[in-house]
Structure formats: C-alpha cells, structure tokens
Structure 1
Amino acid sequence: MSQSTIPKDKDYPKLSKATSGYFEILYFEKSELNSSYFCNDCLYFIHGNDCAIVKKDGPDVDGKESGIIAPYGICTLWFRIQF
C-alpha cells in the first residue's frame, strides 16, 4: 500500500496525537527526511501535513498544538514505506 492509495473522501476513526505518542522535533524541520523514522517516511503520512491514523488537531505528548502532522514529527505507530 502506498500513500497515494489512502482515500481522503471518508472520515476514518483516528487516534489523538497524545495517544499515538506523537511529537514534533523542530530541530529537523529543514532536514532531509527521506530515510528516517519521521512522519515523512511513514506509510500513514499523507502529504499536505496529515496522517491516515492520527488526528492533526489537539495537543501532542508535550502539550503543544500545531494543527498539523509535520513531516519532521514522529510517533509510536511509525511504519516504514516499503517499495
């Protein structure tokens, strides 16, 4: 399954950022993220700062609210894209 096959026209139940263990590492905001454990390289990441299984609203594990799923974010549900 690839990112392009996740339908966006239906609302699926998602976990909160805090439940998923999500947080953003701002230090890596401008880094190369294509071979890492960040959201950008996760099967569930939807380009446009969204995720198929984690809500983009609400506080993360640090209590911060950004309103997005950042490519430089990370959570405990990370699953590598396999080509």
Structure 2
Amino acid sequence: MISLGYKQSQGNHTLFIKHSPNGNLTILLVYTDDMIIVGDDEKEKLTLKKFEMKDLGKLKYLLGNEVAYSMNGIFISQRKYVLDI
C-alpha cells in the first residue's frame, strides 16, 4: 500500500491513510484477508479495484462490533456481542 501513496499508521500498523491532492481522503484497514475501504475519493476506490476482492457493501459487523448508520453519523457498539454471551 505504501507504493500506492498510502502512509502506514504508527499506532496501528494495519491502518493506511492517503490524502489526495484534491483534498479527498481514503482509509484502508487490513485484517487477516479482509480490507475495509472508507473515503470520499471515488477515483481512488476504482484504483483499488485492481486488487482481486469482493465488495460486500456497507460494513455491518467488524470483530464483534455492530456498525449502524444514521443521518447523524455512524454508531459502533458491542450490542450483538453482549446479547450472544
């Protein structure tokens, strides 16, 4: 990812961030064989499509955390994890 212009986070080595010259931002989070792509740079997202991957749509769950979307933003909780135990 570094060769594509991403900077690796010092605090989390699975997190990569790229600021485009036009002010857009793309964030990648890599976990085992999964990659979460977040950002507002549609051109950069198309560039990442060259990697063989399946688009699973909006993120719903990640490592036991539930992700919910609303007009006010994104809410992340462990509700499902708590209900399961």
Q: TM-score, normalised by structure 1?
A: 0.23
- Greater share of residues in strand: 2
Higher relative contact order (CA 8 A, sep 6+): 1
